[in-house]
Amino acid sequence: MPPESAFREPQSHPLHAAREPHASGYLERGPVHRIWWEESGDPSGIPVAFLHGGPGAGTSPVHRQFFDPRRYRIVLHDQRGAGRSTPSGSLEDNTTAALVGDLEALREARGISRWVVFGGSWGSTLALAYAQAHPDRVLALVLRGIFLGGADEVDWFMHGMGRFFPEAARAFAEAIPPDERGDLLTAYERRLNDPDPAIHLPAARAWSVYEGSCSTLRPHPAVVADFASDRVALALARIEAHYFRHLSFLAEGELIAGVRKIAGIPATIVQGRYDVVCPPCTADRLAAAWPEARYVVVPDAGHSAFEPGTRACLVATMAELAGKVG
């Protein structure tokens, strides 16, 4: 089945007004990790879990605004080592299975029986892994900018994005000495995990600026600046490199093979046509294996969830879903 056309009037589906959380705290997860979480919206509304990207990017207040606070009970959390979770940037016991366990523990701790799971980029990976592990806990899935953790996707990030963003890729490579550029992932890992801030911070900023520069259809300096900020850069770069090294702690093709476990869960896949970070071929492969899912390609969008057409599609999808599962 070909993908649907995306929404043509992005301004008709703006983000919802910002609302402050009514509850927040930390979830203790073993001897190392404390997972920060928050809730906003209607405490008796439809529960929805927002899964951020990266891995390591963390959440921001704007992420609440994809959801109508009058209809949704909005649960955000920062994954291990990301955002306000502690210790920041920690790789210890930081695996996909551990993140799935954290999400399930958070659901139980908040007294939620079933919830909608909404994730983009790496968040789509984690959403699929969680749903396949706990299908009876998922009301619906909304996935954006699909990443499945495969070796070809990692290689594309490290080398292929330069076909479209050569300037950004050149700066990414030139942050590493010439004799180490044959294996950029290893070279970056070495620097990102060095205890000296004079070594790990420049590497983190170079990695994060590279990703931010490739994330939008048109140049967006504010996006790049956010990626480069101390709030984001080190945890994002360090944790991404860790997951890339281990191919997201997934067997090759595992999430495609697991689609049969979630075929009965209502699902929407939203993909930017010109997404260079997570190219549409991956979303297309997922949609082909999952004919029950609704597949929407946004014709004028890159990777970011805040591209106008993508934002509109996500907000409208959540509005439609509220009428079906509410």
Contact 196, 202 (CB under 8 A): no
Question: Which residues, 6+ apart, have CB-to-CB distance to 167 below 8 Å?
Answer: 213
- Taking the C-alpha atoms of residue 176 and residue 195, their distance in angstroms, rounded to an integer, is 17
Which entry of 85, 90, 303, 304 is annotated as an active-site residue?
A: 303
Active site residue 159: no
Q: Give the whole-angstrom CA distance, residue 255 versus residue 96.
A: 12
Q: How far apart are CA 258 and CA 255, in angstroms?
A: 5
Active site (annotated) includes residue 136: no
* C-alpha neighbours within 13 Å on the C-beta side of residue 1: 14
**Residues across the chain:** 326
Integer Rg of the chain from CA: 19
Residue 39, classified by CB atoms within 10 Å of its CB into exposed (0-12), middle (13-18) or buried (19+), is buried
Residue among 254, 238, 269 at smallest CA distance from 58: 238
- What phi and psi, each to the nearest 5 degrees, are found at residue 69? -70, -10
Catalytic residue among 90, 121, 124, 215: 121
The position carrying tokens 């979480």 is 37
Two structure tokens written together for 151: 């070796």
Cα gap 175→324, rounded to integer Å: 50
Q: Catalytic annotation on 275?
A: yes
Angle at 47 between CA 42 and CA 51, to 5 degrees: 115
The residue annotated as part of the active site, out of 68, 78, 102, 275, is: 275
Q: Are strands 294-298 and 267-272 parallel, antiparallel or unpaired?
A: parallel
- Please report, as a single letter, which amino acid is at residue 28: E
Active site residues: 121, 275, 303
